[in-house]
A and B are shown apart, each in its own frame.
Chain A
Amino acid sequence: MNEKENKGGNNDEPNKKFSIWDLPDVPMGQLPPHLQLQKTRVVCKADAPIHTDNISYSGAYASIGVDNSVHLDLFRDNFKVNVIRLTKEDMEFDMIGIDPALANAFRRILISEVPTMAIEKVLIAYNTSVVQDEVLAHRLGLVPLKADPRLFEYLSANDTPNEKNTIVFKLHASCKRGERRTVYSEELKWLPKGSELIKEAGQADSKPTTYTSFTCSQDVLPEFSEDPISPSEDKIILAKLGSKQEIELEAHAVKGLGKTHAKWSPVATAWYRMLPEVVLLEDVEDEVAEELVRRCPDKVFDIEDIGHGKKRATVARPRDCRLCRECVRGEGWEERVELRRVKDHFIFTVESTGVLPPEVLFTEAVKILEEKCERVISELS
């Protein structure tokens, strides 16, 4: 309201029956450009960014007749995804037309709530290496496993480990006298039939039991007979062995969530940044243009010839801007260059650890948010 009244005051018309609502500079039903900028862009000044908040309240612009509520249809029309890069392990895509609340929810779920399989229990039969048992167990826990977690169940406190909730690996590595060697993750051998270590018998004549009770071998399942379970990388160093040292152990992997321990996180990391937008507020020419190009470490600016021996700076690669703010630092520069970020355009990067392909991980993350909503709805009904 203040905004408009100020403008009304500036406009000294003699007409007594004047109403600010009739003024041409208060466009009804659409946002004036400065508010539009505030709503859609973060502006990065040399000292700090401004307009960083998101105006999501439906009635925020009710006084100028703008409906700020977002209907599902509107969201559907505006939402876009562009895949920029996609490999087995990582993926970069643009997510356009979504609120940071949702983008951030997806990111948080990817990091801490998409389940994976990771080694949780290590039974060490023999270890004469210099790596202590607990350190070795911790290292093993962090090895990402190529096993689809959707095919497994959680192992809860009272469950017995069986073929549906546990994966067993064996590691037996030794080093000859006078030699040295490195133990790599490829030496972890999958035991589809379960544990081979015999529990110390309580009763003398009872049948010997192992640490798991598998009813069938995991490798007869069609999902695993094609694609056997293994660590997702072969060359992860687990330990180094010296002359006559030996490690013998069994590792039991179970399903878990990244919020319990980072070893269950399916991503190396997942992050997003808002699309940078670099705007030249005035023509930047000659020496100043060269200085501008020199200032930018990411080569965002180019110089074009405009004839008569004059040169002018242009913004060539705004997407590469890392927002170091070097181009707005110092006297006079903020008047020439404005750095902005588009509030609803996210450049999202997912780096998978190899457990599942990144696009599957993202889909799983979205499904988990859906499940959360579903749960709330059913509990409220």
Chain B
Amino acid sequence: MCVAGNRREMEHGSLNDPSKATFSFVDEDHTLANSVRFCLNQDPRVSVCGYSIPHPSDARVNIRIQTTGEPAREVLKDGCQNLMLMCQHVRGTLDKAVADFRMNNPTKMETKSDSEMET
């Protein structure tokens, strides 16, 4: 087991098999853990991935990763990287959709906000 200083993240695993590890994140909850679990499950290098919150009053989640050989740490990093790229794509697509909506409904927007002003 290696615990890294005062970081918010800890890795529990064995020193001679890096392909299996549990990562413990402080100050995170389902929001991040579930998204990461979802991303990792789609990675063909992952054989098992799941997470748990050991105690509800403790702001901590444990993410368990077992891979087919690759170091779990690297796979987790790739998963997060993927998640980030997905988020960026979501953001870009939403911005475009909003711009399109504004283009197609210029009058609708105005009347809506006008009526709000009156109330």
Contacts and interface: CB of A to CB of B under 8 A. Distances in A.
Contacts of B8: 375, 379
Interface size range on A against B: 35 or more
Given A79-B89, A362-B94, A366-B91, A104 B34 contact: yes
B31 A373 contact: no
Interface in A93-109: 93, 95, 98-99, 101-102, 104-106, 108-109
B52 interface: no
Contacts of B43: 58, 69
Contact of B101 (A80, A83, A381): A83
A109 B90 CA distance: 15
Given A105-B34, A369-B32, A376-B25, A86 B85 contact: no
Given A86-B109, A101-B38, A376-B80, A366 B90 contact: yes
Interface string A70-92: 10100110011111001111000
A82 B86 contact: no
A369 B83 contact: yes
Contact of B31 (A82, A113, A366): A113
B98 interface: yes
Nearest to B81: A377
A373 B31 CA distance: 11
Contacts of A102: 35, 38, 86-87, 90
Interface size range on B against A: 35 or more
B118 interface: no
Contact of A56 (B4, B9, B25, B41): B41
Interface string A351-381: 0000000010011001101101111110111
Question: Which DSSP category, helix, strand, loop or mixed, fits chain B's interface?
Answer: helix
Contacts of B14: none
A148 to B, nearest CB: 18
A351 to B, nearest CB: 13
Given A56-B38, A87-B112, A79 B31 contact: no
Contacts of B38: 56, 99, 101-102
Contacts of B41: 56-58
Interface of A: 56-59, 67-70, 72, 75-76, 79-83, 86-89, 93, 95, 98-99, 101-102, 104-106, 108-109, 113, 359, 362-363, 366-367, 369-370, 372-377, 379-381
Interface of B: 4, 7-9, 25, 28-32, 34-38, 41-44, 46, 73, 76-77, 80-91, 93-98, 100-102, 105, 109, 112-113, 116
The 9 closest A-B pairs by CB, nearest first: A101-B38, A83-B101, A81-B97, A373-B80, A373-B84, A379-B9, A56-B41, A370-B87, A105-B35
